[in-house]
A and B are shown apart, each in its own frame.
Chain A
Amino acid sequence: METPDIDFKELWASQNTEQPNLADLLQRVDRYKKSRRRHTVLANLSLSITAAFILFVWYYYQPQLVTTKVGIVFIIAAIALYIIAINKSRSLFRQADESNNNQQYLNNLLEIKAKQQFIETTVLNSYFALLSFGIALYMYEYASHMTMVGAAVTYGITGIWILLNWFYLRPLQIRKQQARLNGLIDKLKSMQDQLNQE
């Protein structure tokens, strides 16, 4: 059977859809802005509360040793670093200029993804290192009041917990992030290749 030549353009133009009214669309903009704000606020709030609690402990129990204070500073630094970096990594996306051409836009997205990959890996490593070190220092004052056995058990358990974090949870989280980002990067690259093919 011979198929007659089809007028693609005419066929294409026959597809229409009801236009959502403008008020609905603007409402969506509003909802979107609110949900984005809520998301950021929630993420930052939980970490900020932790930091506030640690500061409260510092103020209320008045640690005697400098190790405790340094420990607290490290823990708070870890939390602050995490908050700042994650927010920065998320906001990178807003830098992609949608009014570029597709080729430039794909380049943009790829650059952003590479930056995100760097930030997320480096920051996660630093976060775990600072946190572990901070906790170890922080505990020293309280452990020094314990019996030898008590102190050994306390440090032993904390040590195991830190090792678990470093050798199991940290690589796991990094792998998960990398897999997600690598998948995206591959897909973006393949789209770029499509354009570069002759």
Chain B
Amino acid sequence: MMIKNGILVNWTISSQPNKMPFEEIYKTYWQKVFRVCMGYANDYDLAKDMAQEAFIIVWQQLPKFRNEADIGTWIYRIATNNCLRQVERQKRFPKAALPLNLEEDKQVNVEPQLQLLYRFISELSETERIIISLELENAKQSAIAQIVGLSEANTRVKIHRIKEKLTQKFKEHGNA
């Protein structure tokens, strides 16, 4: 900052205003991105891998990020696109709806209810999994629309339907 004749003439701000450093992004978004990946993959180790991959992309792309977009939306786009990209690795990709498999047993303290939630989500289609994971992650519906590329109205309808499906699945399970 420079003051000449009592007037502020040069207000220096950092060259990249509002830009979050990577470490901070990583700290803030790790759990969120991991949970979204978990919703997509229903496999603890795979989800962790996918989340790490997503952050590698974030790290690589960060210099290109422009502040006109919301950083959260931007990160979720990268993370969910990376989920969709998993189709290329089908071989190591687990089949949906492996019922409470052994893999999950080694996780610490995963409540049965939570396991059920993951299982029911894994029975949804790929894009439904993404939409509901973002919704459960408390992303705004307008943000979800921007991440997925749908209109807000359409997104709202989809979220509502998916929630109905999940509730239905829980009810059926409870009655079984």
By secondary structure, the A interface counts as helix
Please tell me if the beta carbons of A15 and B167 are within 8 angstroms of each other in the complex. no
Bin the interface of chain A by size: 35 or more
Bin the interface of chain B by size: 35 or more
Contact pattern, A 4-22, Cβ under 8 Å of B = 1, otherwise 0 = 0110110111111101101
B residues 50-65 touching A (CB-CB < 8 Å): 52, 55-57, 59-61, 64-65
Residues in chain A near residue B74, CB distance under 8 A: 99
User: A42 contacts the other chain (Cβ, under 8 Å)?
Assistant: no
Please tell me if the beta carbons of B56 and A28 are within 8 angstroms of each other in the complex. yes
Residues in chain A near residue B55, CB distance under 8 A: 25
Contact A195:B150 (CB < 8 A) given known A15-B114, A19-B30, A99-B74: yes
Residues in chain A near residue B47, CB distance under 8 A: 17
Please tell me if the beta carbons of A194 and B78 are within 8 angstroms of each other in the complex. no
Residue in A closest to B54 when the chains form the complex, CB atoms: A98
**Smallest CB separation, A184 vs chain B (Å):** 6
Please tell me if the beta carbons of A29 and B38 are within 8 angstroms of each other in the complex. no
Partner pick for B117 among A11, A96, A99, A105, CB 8 A cutoff: A11
Q: How far is the CA of A17 from the CA of B38 in the complex (A)?
A: 10
A residues 135-179 touching B (CB-CB < 8 Å): none
User: B128 contacts the other chain (Cβ, under 8 Å)?
Assistant: yes
Give the contact stretch, choosing among B9-17, B95-103, B130-138: B130-138
On B, residues with C-beta under 8 Å from A are: 22-23, 26-27, 30-31, 34-35, 38-39, 44, 47-48, 52, 55-57, 59-61, 64-65, 69, 74, 77-78, 80-82, 84-85, 87-88, 90, 110-111, 113-114, 117, 125-128, 130, 136-138, 146-150, 154, 163, 166-167, 170-171, 173-175
